[in-house]
Amino acid sequence: MGDVIMDGEFLNPVTTPGIDLIWVIGSEQEVDWTGNFDVINIRMWQEDPERMSARPGETVFQNDSNPLPTSFKWKVDTYDFDTTRSN
Exposure of 29 in the CB half-sphere (CA atoms within 13 A): 17
pLDDT value at position 3?
Answer: 58
pTM: 0.73
**Could you tell me the residue ranges of all domains in the chain?**
8-75
Mean pLDDT confidence for 1-16: 75
Q: Kindly provide the residue ranges of all beta strands, DSSP E only, lying in the chain, ordered along the sequence.
A: 8-12, 28-35, 40-48, 53-63, 71-75
pLDDT value at position 1?
Answer: 46
**pLDDT tens digits for range 18-70:** 988 889 999 999 999 998 888 889 998 888 888 888 888 889 999 998 888 99
